[in-house]
Amino acid sequence: MTAIQIDRVEKSYKGFKALKGVSLSIEEGEFFGLLGPNGAGKTTLISTIAGLIRPDAGSVKIHGHDVVTDFREARKRLGVVPQELVFDPFFTVRETLRLQSGYFDIRNNDGWIDEVMHNLDLTDKADVNMRALSGGMKRRVLVAQALVHRPPVIVLDEPTAGVDVELRQTLWKFIARLNREGGHTVVLTTHYLEEAQAMCQRVAMLKQGNVVALDTMSTLLRRVSGSQLVVHLKSGTLPAELRPLVSHDEPNNGNNKYTLRVNDYADVEPILARLREAGAVIDEMQLQQADLEDIFIQIMEEGKQ
Amino acid sequence: MNLFSIGFRTLFYKESLRFWKVATQTVAAPVVTAMLYLVIFGHVLDGRVEMLEGVAYTSFLIPGLVMMSVLQNAFANSSSSLIQSKISGNLVFILLAPLSHAEILAAYVGAAVLRGIAVGAGVFAITAWFAHLTFVAPVWIVVFAILGAAILGTMGVIAGIWAEKFDQLAAFQNFLIMPATFLAGVFYSVQKLPPFWLAVSHFNPFFYMIDGFRYGFFGQSDVSPWTSLAIVSVFFAVLTAMAINLLKRGYKLRH
């Protein structure tokens, strides 16, 4: 079943096109990443899914329910962690979570509220006023608020922006468990690409309001031509025929250290043989696998030249 | 709209709890302000002017002050809650919830009525010691108090949705609500006005709220309470339709 169906969504602000006909389909149970540089349209898209922004054209459906025309059914199925650190200063953590449950027509929800607080290390703060919490704790409450009604679809808009390692680990452990054991669909936007690489099964990359890449993580990782071989020469120089392999991103900066692009392990031995023939002696060597960041940079650079 | 839905009741409870948690500011302070009006105006004018036949000025003034407090505090509750939530960003929690437009409006207006009535009751309880009051038709007192508070609560919702900054809301309050309330006959009977201003007063819906409310105490009013009820009800229906329309369109809420 399709959890989120985004169909040719367009949105403009005073002449600026933030979304230019975005179409995406996210399946139930997926852990999906929505990536892109600042201003790419990620938050606009998330806000459209959440019903906070009305699209100029196109539609978004949550489990088949349109977020504009059938918003009540759509919102019941959606839990959103907003990017901004917002809170109501009149209430304690527990009051906040009870109120949020009530907005979703749920009464006597303390069992689940306690479990969510426990999993987000909030139990000690249950009766503390929201104003007295640190930024990281407020972020945890935001996550808890999005989960009080056990939504089948969870949308996290940069949930780990500016928070410490402990919260990141706690949060990802809990969200991964909800995804794995509860079958919750998770949509994540983040600037921490290593998080997206670790968590997401599929990724869409947005650039200037368009989807410029949409694939599984494994396919995307294969898309960038292989890896990088970093060699630090003790003596000798890099033979001329190997120079075309030097990465533009990390050229030799005078310390006889070279970063060479290789497709796979099979390319390593011929390079080493050529270095031996040229009389170069290797001091250190490292084979670095391409990661999501390399792919991200490559995709974002495409079209710039 | 389902007034028994947990969503509506939760938002109503939250909006009520919000003002109750700061009751010194939201309930006690307006009661003290109204009492000062009574002490000053009552002391200066009692025995010197007669607005209704056989009714002392202080007695005449008390229902006006009670209704003024009801109206102003009902407006303040919904408008300040909305603008604060908009500016601090926590309105998102309401916007993300599966609440219907009518449920949202009813919850904000319901809490506004509750605060308006709480302040009005407080003003009445304090000021009633200063004068002899009669209750000729208590049903009208209740009807106009609730309807007036609901109207101002709805106006507060509209103003809170429209305003983007606190000073815009203050302008709405200072240049619309305050003059309309003061010129509606809180401190005087409009019959004492020159013909032009008497005619102008009849275009002010606040006049009918206060006049109908005062009828419940003294059995005397500038216009029939039934006429007031009809005008006030139509005004309420128009404002409700406007507020629902703004919520449906997501005006300044959903961009």
Tens-place pLDDT, residues A130-172:
999 988 889 999 999 999 999 999 999 988 877 788 888 888 8
Other beta carbons within 10 angstroms of residue A263's beta carbon come to 9
Tens-place pLDDT, residues B124-138:
999 888 888 888 899
Query: What is the length of chain A?
Result: 305
Residue B229 lies in a domain: yes
Q: Which residue of A has its CA nearest to B8?
A: A103
Residue B254 lies in a domain: no
Put simply, the answer to whether B96 touches A78 (Cβ < 8 Å) is yes
By Cβ distance, the residue of B88, B89, B99 closest to A103 is B99
Q: A265: which 2 tokens?
A: 């392990």
Share of chain B above pLDDT 90, in %: 64
Give how far A83 is from chain B: nearest CA, Å: 11
Q: Which residue of A has its CA nearest to B107?
A: A103
Q: Where are the alpha helices (DSSP H) in chain B?
A: 6-20, 23, 29-45, 57-88, 92-95, 101-127, 138-162, 166-172, 178-182, 195-201, 205-218, 225-249
* Substitution target from A103, A106, A108, A143 for chain B, most B beta carbons within 10 A: A103
Put simply, the answer to whether A104 touches B7 (Cβ < 8 Å) is yes
Tens-place pLDDT, residues B186-221:
888 888 888 888 888 899 999 999 999 999 998 988
**Under a CB-based contact definition with an 8 Å cutoff, are residues B53 and B148 in contact?**
no
Put simply, the answer to whether A72 touches B100 (Cβ < 8 Å) is yes
Q: Give the neighbor-by-neighbor strand order of the sheet with A185-189.
A: A78-81, A153-157, A185-189, A31-35, A202-207, A210-216
Query: What is the length of chain B?
Result: 255
| Confidence check: pLDDT of B106 > 90 | yes
The pLDDT-based confidence of A303 (bands split at 50, 70, 90) is low
Share of chain A above pLDDT 70, in %: 95
| Confidence check: pLDDT of A292 > 80 | no
Lowest mean pLDDT among A3-7, A268-272, B52-56, B94-98: B52-56
Domain range for B40: 6-249
Put simply, the answer to whether A75 touches B13 (Cβ < 8 Å) is no
The pLDDT-based confidence of B47 (bands split at 50, 70, 90) is low
The pLDDT-based confidence of A243 (bands split at 50, 70, 90) is confident
Residue at A215: amino acid letter: D
User: pLDDT at position B93, please?
Assistant: 95
The position carrying tokens 């389909």 is A25
**Under a CB-based contact definition with an 8 Å cutoff, are residues B98 and A104 in contact?**
yes
- Spatial separation of the C-alpha atoms in residues B29 and B22, rounded to whole Å: 10
- Spatial separation of the C-alpha atoms in residues A102 and A99, rounded to whole Å: 5
Q: Does B101 touch chain A (CB under 8 A)?
A: no
User: pLDDT at position B216, please?
Assistant: 93
| Confidence check: pLDDT of B235 > 90 | yes
Backbone angles phi, psi at A196, to 5 degrees: -60, -40
User: What DSSP state is assigned to residue B104?
Assistant: H
Give how far B246 is from chain A: nearest CA, Å: 14
H or E stretch at A226: none
The pLDDT-based confidence of A251 (bands split at 50, 70, 90) is low
**β A210-216/A202-207 pair status:** antiparallel
| Confidence check: pLDDT of A237 > 90 | no
The position carrying tokens 């050529």 is A274
Backbone angles phi, psi at A65, to 5 degrees: -105, 125
Chain pair A-B, CB pairs under 8 angstroms: 81
The pLDDT-based confidence of B175 (bands split at 50, 70, 90) is very high
User: pLDDT at position A3, please?
Assistant: 93
Q: A251: which 2 tokens?
A: 């050229």
Residue B83 lies in a domain: yes
**β A257-262/A227-235 pair status:** antiparallel
Residue B11 lies in a domain: yes
Tens-place pLDDT, residues A62-103:
999 999 999 999 999 999 999 889 999 999 999 999 999 999
User: pLDDT at position A248, please?
Assistant: 60
Lowest mean pLDDT among A124-128, B48-52, B139-143, B172-176: B48-52
Domain count, chain B: 1
Q: B97: which 2 tokens?
A: 């919830």
Q: Does B6 touch chain A (CB under 8 A)?
A: yes
Bridge partners of A27, per DSSP, are A2
Lowest mean pLDDT among A165-179, A218-232, B2-16, B125-139: A218-232
- Spatial separation of the C-alpha atoms in residues B27 and B211, rounded to whole Å: 24
Q: Does B83 touch chain A (CB under 8 A)?
A: no
Residue B70 lies in a domain: yes
Tens-place pLDDT, residues A15-33:
889 999 999 999 999 999 9
By Cβ distance, the residue of B10, B98, B254 closest to A76 is B98
Q: Which of B205, B201, B174 is nearest to B72 (CA)?
A: B174
| Confidence check: pLDDT of A301 > 80 | no
Tens-place pLDDT, residues A204-215:
999 889 988 888
Q: What is the mean pLDDT of chain B?
A: 91
Residue B46 lies in a domain: yes
Question: Which positions ≥6 away from A20 have C-beta within 8 Å?
Answer: A10, A208, A209, A210
Put simply, the answer to whether B254 touches A106 (Cβ < 8 Å) is no
Domains recognised in chain A with CATH numbers:
2-221 (3.40.50.300), 225-289 (3.30.70)
**Under a CB-based contact definition with an 8 Å cutoff, are residues A264 and A226 in contact?**
yes
